[in-house]
């Protein structure tokens, strides 16, 4: 089944404790992105990657890191999480081009205390 998977789905952590949210897709998509969703703000892009070893900042990259060592994986790293990073996070992937649908993972609900 074609899908984007994220782990963990739920995470409660404390300020400053490094964490990684994994994302994997099995559709051989070039593009992968991370979004955060906050009430009243919609989805905002954190980082994106156009292919292996090619990443770039989105609209809200501060406090996050990413890597793209393999085509299928695009982990999101929070080196020192803070409470303002409490949010719902989505990973997404797609093939190139304007028209192509973006496939979303199920979301990771992160709470930073």
- Judged by the rule CB under 8 A, the positions of this chain that interact with another protein are 33, 35, 40-45, 48, 58, 88, 90, 92, 98-99, 101-104, 106-107, 109
Shortest spacing between CB 103 and another protein, in angstroms = 8
Shortest spacing between CB 105 and another protein, in angstroms = 9
Shortest spacing between CB 42 and another protein, in angstroms = 4
Inter-residue contact 46 to 58 (CB < 8 Å): yes
- Specify the residue, 19 or 43, whose C-beta has the smaller distance to another protein: 43
> What whole-number distance in Å separates Cα of residue 45 and Cα of residue 83?
19
Helix (H, G, I), strand (E, B) or coil at 88: strand
Inter-residue contact 12 to 26 (CB < 8 Å): no
| Residues in contact with 85: Cβ distance below 8 Å, sequence separation at least 6, in sequence order | 36, 63, 64, 78, 110, 112
- Specify the residue, 4 or 78, whose C-beta has the smaller distance to another protein: 4
- Specify the residue, 16 or 106, whose C-beta has the smaller distance to another protein: 106
């Amino acid at each position: 089944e074609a899908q984007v998977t994220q782990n963990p789905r739920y995470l409660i952590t404390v300020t400053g404790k490094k964490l990684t949210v994994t994302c994997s897709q099995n559709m051989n998509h070039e593009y992968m992105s991370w979004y955060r969703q906050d009430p009243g703000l919609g989805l905002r892009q954190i980082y994106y990657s156009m292919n292996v070893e090619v990443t770039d900042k989105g609209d809200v990259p501060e406090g996050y890191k990413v890597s793209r060592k393999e085509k299928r994986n695009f982990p999101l790293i929070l080196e020192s999480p803070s409470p303002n990073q409490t949010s719902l996070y989505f990973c997404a992937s797609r093939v190139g081009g304007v028209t192509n649908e973006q496939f979303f993972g199920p979301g990771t609900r992160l709470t930073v205390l």
